[in-house]
Structure 1
């Protein structure tokens, strides 16, 4: 008989915790999942799901304003923001009922407990139960999936004004007349577009010289130009000095290269990243190491205590829902099945769901240059994708980084409509060693967006052509046509 009550205890019921619990139960482990609030986590309630619903509502509104692009009549949409938020909540609830309802997991023989969990020792968890009282449980393996929360920077005066984060934004019932967003990362940029399209005047403030610091600079410029054309204002290279209340509005005082400027709005959104939820866990009682970035783990998500794993946002490595699910799979496979699965950071995709979308997978151009890897850049504009023209979405660019000789794909970055779908094909290619030659030789349906992924791969063939090779072919086969002009290194066919 085991000395522990459970085989697997999962702390947290977000994307990572739900996945870890499901896998644990599926391999026959006696499993408990502990959640302090409600299953679904940030993704369902305050992140991915509500933000994408709001973005879609904004896009519909913009399509009404710009209907003439499709030969229809432009009109100003009548926006009832309270109804928009009701719609956000409705979809959020539907996702919860389909994927996150406790009964789904209880039917898999997972014991779901609501309460606050903390370590008592390396194998023992104490729970402050939601309904009152305490419970102490033990487990052979423990998976920490306690997630992360909005990071609020130490800005002078911020504690004296009202502000929003992603955790409160989707409970606002009145459309902000003027929304000031601090932070030019994915959350800030997605919400800047959503609220602009719904009728707010939006200004994004960031201390950096460009938005979306982790993405390809050339593609970010394309995205930023689109956002500016839609009405988003940007204040970059701006150091925030103070936040205050002035004339009934929130005033953000910034220093731009020695010039002081005040940016005012009816609402303020803080979108400056996320910090792991570790303080309440009493990690020191289990001897688990952590720092301000999160719980320290190896590439199997294993902490310094071999039977304790940290998965999802709490380990601070990749704070994406898809990576939360993947880290849960890696950790449970390693712990419960003894299969040494690891995270391969060379094919981690990410997407910012603006319009146009911005997506990446694999190594960036900068990373390849730093590593000294020999590579070629293959570019393909959206304006040459027929589906982009039929759908009137020609703004975009695909960039592929690959070995010139073999076509081995190192990385891909895309800005444009459905970039998040296109990037998935490149993720499969990088993971499985599929070369650009293989992609180019694979039949894709016309006129699909996926055909754009293949057309970009075609450029490997195009750029490997040369004047001498065509001369040789002409000579061998006796062809009489003209030799193509190879003088333009960026020519696209």
Structure 2
């Protein structure tokens, strides 16, 4: 049995933050991961995905300007793009391990399993610590349908040596929409099958509807209220069966991607032995991000049942946990509005309440919803779909929600976040002088009178 002050399970943004802070404070730290060290975002998620999106953006921009100064649309060489992506991702595990080792953090590879409330087994090693941090992130949600083993997940998609001509995305969230855009711009025929009545259900319905129009305009076929019942065939020649409107349907594809949600990655942990409570959303934690059932355990990042599964939140939660471990529970989780972006082409960015949520809360709000394809920022690049919706509280003059579609809005949303965090009124925001012509300079036109 090896003893440490702290054991951290997971090497992504959350786990890394806690481990390094504890080690810097002089604690003995062990860190464990069953996957290559470095976490999902940097290797299998946000960062490599954005590289692929960058290529899709070039295709979109050039095709929009054909005949307007550009002679032909760019095309994607998939193999070259994936090789370029690998130049970012492949060094990460070795670099991460080296940094941990240089800091004096002890590394363990393999799946962690609780033996008791304060002991962990990984491979042939048994580890004990006064405190344990779970930061294992999420994994694809089991669909429990025949042929599920034939599905590819988001990790597999970003490792494809060649892009198949026909792809089905199961799901209607971030992953399905972002990968559909990448694949379509790379020349694939893409079908999205979503079980719900509308996709991206956490985002504003009107702005999402504009995005759906943009997707259909480039040939992405979206089927709503479609319940997938089975996957049949063999790799490269698959059939997806689904139910819709009481009838059975099917669609053929070379590749089927699981994009229908994710759940806490805790299957191997044997949480019962660790006396760690799990909810449908993740590990149950209190405002200190401490397990509600085992005070020796904290959880942070996507695996905890707080907040949205976003990398900035994972780092934020890691800092909270580190502070509470080192100083006693002195820092609580604050559920501030956090900006998020769906990196489609054009991107969809959002922060705060939707109109539906604000109405349910009984807020008195001023709402402005507008399509903006006739605005200069869209006309300049011949962008065919763009728009926004903003919500301002009538009593406080505070922006309480912003939902933006269009090129550049993945950055503009951060200005709205800044205004909301520091309580800059809509009136004051509208009086700001920004560099012109820029996307930011349109903010004053996005605010209701």
* TM-score for both structures, normalised by structure 1: 0.84
Q: Which has the higher contact order (CA 8 A, sep 6+)?
A: 2
Match of 2:351 in 1: 361
Match of 2:70 in 1: 72
Offset at residue 246 of structure 1 (A): 8.6
Instruction: Tell whether 2:305 aligns with 1:308.
Output: no
Match of 1:333 in 2: 323
In 1, the alpha carbon distance for the partners of 2:7 and 2:46 equals: 26
The answer to whether the 8 Å contact 1:385/1:449 transfers is no
CA deviations 1:136-181 (Å, max 9, x no partner) are 333232211112211231123434xx32111211222122111011
Decide whether aligned partners of structure 1 residues 358 and 69 sit closer, same or farther in structure 2, where only a CA change above 3 A counts: farther
Instruction: Tell whether 2:42 aligns with 1:16.
Output: no
Q: Mean alpha-carbon deviation: is it higher for 420-429 or for 336-345?
A: 336-345
CA deviations 1:290-337 (Å, max 9, x no partner) are 134321112332112223111112124422222211221222223323
Match of 1:93 in 2: 90
Decide whether aligned partners of structure 1 residues 366 and 139 sit closer, same or farther in structure 2, where only a CA change above 3 A counts: same
Instruction: Tell whether 2:129 aligns with 1:136.
Output: no
Residue aligned with 1:421, SS: helix
The answer to whether the 8 Å contact 2:65/2:381 transfers is no
Instruction: Tell whether 2:102 aligns with 1:107.
Output: yes
Instruction: Tell whether 2:179 aligns with 1:191.
Output: yes
Q: Choose from 76, 79, 82 the match for 2:79.
A: 82
In 2, the alpha carbon distance for the partners of 1:208 and 1:122 equals: 40
Match of 2:35 in 1: 37
In 1, the alpha carbon distance for the partners of 2:265 and 2:235 equals: 37
Match of 2:284 in 1: 296
Match of 1:260 in 2: 248
The answer to whether the 8 Å contact 1:203/1:232 transfers is yes
Decide whether aligned partners of structure 1 residues 206 and 381 sit closer, same or farther in structure 2, where only a CA change above 3 A counts: closer
Residue aligned with 1:211, SS: coil
The answer to whether the 8 Å contact 1:152/1:270 transfers is no
The answer to whether the 8 Å contact 1:69/1:392 transfers is no
Q: Mean alpha-carbon deviation: is it higher for 169-178 or for 25-34?
A: 25-34
The answer to whether the 8 Å contact 2:56/2:345 transfers is no
Match of 1:472 in 2: none
Decide whether aligned partners of structure 1 residues 289 and 201 sit closer, same or farther in structure 2, where only a CA change above 3 A counts: same
In 2, the alpha carbon distance for the partners of 1:276 and 1:32 equals: 22
In 2, the alpha carbon distance for the partners of 1:94 and 1:416 equals: 33
The answer to whether the 8 Å contact 1:388/1:449 transfers is no
Match of 2:259 in 1: 271
Aligned length, in residue pairs: 446
Unaligned runs of 5+ in 2: none
Match of 2:118 in 1: 123
Offset at residue 381 of structure 1 (A): 4.7
Decide whether aligned partners of structure 1 residues 389 and 19 sit closer, same or farther in structure 2, where only a CA change above 3 A counts: farther
Larger radius of gyration: 1
In 1, the alpha carbon distance for the partners of 2:211 and 2:193 equals: 16
Decide whether aligned partners of structure 1 residues 388 and 333 sit closer, same or farther in structure 2, where only a CA change above 3 A counts: farther
Match of 1:476 in 2: none
* TM-score for both structures, normalised by structure 2: 0.91
Decide whether aligned partners of structure 1 residues 154 and 376 sit closer, same or farther in structure 2, where only a CA change above 3 A counts: same
In 2, the alpha carbon distance for the partners of 1:242 and 1:294 equals: 27
CA deviations 1:372-393 (Å, max 9, x no partner) are 1222213465446543433433
CA deviations 1:424-456 (Å, max 9, x no partner) are 122222222222123223322112222223432
In 2, the alpha carbon distance for the partners of 1:405 and 1:398 equals: 22
The answer to whether the 8 Å contact 2:12/2:40 transfers is yes
In 2, the alpha carbon distance for the partners of 1:67 and 1:24 equals: 52
Within 5 Å, give how 1:61-460 maps onto structure 2: 61-68=59-66, 70-75=68-73, 77=75, 79-93=76-90, 101-128=96-123, 134-159=124-149, 162-245=150-233, 249-304=237-292, 305-317=294-306, 318-338=308-328, 340-379=330-369, 381-383=371-373, 385-393=375-383, 395-457=385-447, 459=448
Q: Mean alpha-carbon deviation: is it higher for 44-53 or for 62-71?
A: 62-71
Residue aligned with 1:68, SS: coil
Residue aligned with 1:413, SS: strand
The answer to whether the 8 Å contact 1:296/1:303 transfers is yes
Give the CA RMSD over aligned residues: 2.5
Offset at residue 415 of structure 1 (A): 1.5
